[in-house]
Structure 1
């Protein structure tokens, strides 16, 4: 059984925070790209309503999906530097950090609960995939 002192908390927190930073950066880049393409296509005058609608949809769909995917990758990154017996716990830790950050920025409803659980599962799966692919 993994004890709390066996976990590398700096790596877990770093993996969780970096996941959100990357997800937010990609979301901003996608929205800015859409705005630039829309502005060029309309002769220089941006359609504010279209940009706002795109931002809302991409924020509601793209950001959570991307965050969950990147959580798995971050958990695998964290798991590569730890003992194999603690890798799954580290993955769960990354998922919990990412999920908690998501809860801090969203409404506390059933959708956020599902995202939280899915994010933790993605962290565990990321660590397990890393273990399956690594040969010790």
Structure 2
């Protein structure tokens, strides 16, 4: 069933990561020119990968174990993304016109929290199915 609570959690993950994709800072220097770092395609790829994994997890609602594993992979991907954001914020030299330090670092954490909640709901469903199978 697609109308379970973990689907709501995963849709929230998709929205948070889409907001991060839209919000992802474009750094301007003092003259107003856009500064592009070498890690941006990697960051955009990880954000897009997280969105894709959440969509695949929603669509694999009949296979709870696979859904659980996909969510764990998504959690790992979000931790890596968080690490990249923390590394970039710690290695900024000086202050740019648009500061990168802000809510962008918190969005992967919010995503991780909702992925953990989705995994708990999936585990609860799996336990319920196993308990019903025991009664047969």
TM over 0.5: no
> Which protein has greater RCO, CA pairs closer than 8 Å, 6+ apart?
2
TM-score (structure 2 length as normaliser): 0.34
TM-score (structure 1 length as normaliser): 0.34
